Amino acid sequence: MSEYEEILDVVDSEDRIIGKASRLQVHNKDLMHRSAHILVFNSIGSLFLQMRSMNKDESPGLWDSSAAGHVESGEDYFSCAKRELKEELSLSSVKLDEVLSIPAQSMTFWEHVRVYKCVTDGNICINKNEISEGKYMKLSEISALMQLKPDIHTSTFSHIYENYINKLV
């Protein structure tokens, strides 16, 4: 099954499930749905950022959260976060803590977003189908980039930065 055929829960503004649709339908019709974003910090406080693959349909080539993905139909946010960490970064057995909840809006492509963080010095192996590159960055470096070149980041990551990461700097 291609990623365009994956089935997602369609939700309302209160994040209640009201139906199901393919990923393609959800995006083409701007239907509200769910996603999880994960921020992977190392033990010295740097944050791993990924550059989205150029073959992605949304925000190709932009810097984003360490890992992120759609919550599939019947899946919960936490399970999605664990799955995306494994699929995109080959990380498992990490402790995840929820740090932010963002309501669906145009900036998040109509996704209700739950943001999780973890701290690990585990070996990251990026999935080249999803990510073109990734690297750990000091929060001060991310802050400088957000001010100098905000358009090189996804709109969802910019929201996460403003409402969570910026408070850590």
- pLDDT tens-place string over residues 60-116: 899 999 999 999 999 999 999 999 999 999 999 899 999 999 999 999 999 999 999
Structure-block tokens of residue 78: 């936490």
Average pLDDT over residues 145-166: 94
Domains of the chain: residue spans and CATH: 3-167 (3.90.79.10)
- pLDDT tens-place string over residues 2-20: 565 789 999 999 999 999 9
Total length of the chain: 169
CA distance 138 to 54: 25
Can you point out the beta strands (E) in the chain? 7-11, 17-22, 33-41, 47-52, 63-64, 67-70, 97-102, 111-119, 131-137
Which among 39, 36, 35, 34 is positioned nearest to 50, based on CA atoms?
39
Encoded amino acid at 167, one letter: K
Neighbours of 122 (CB within 10 A): 16
Q: How confident is the model at residue 168 (pLDDT cuts 50, 70, 90)?
A: confident
Q: What is this structure's pTM? A: 0.94
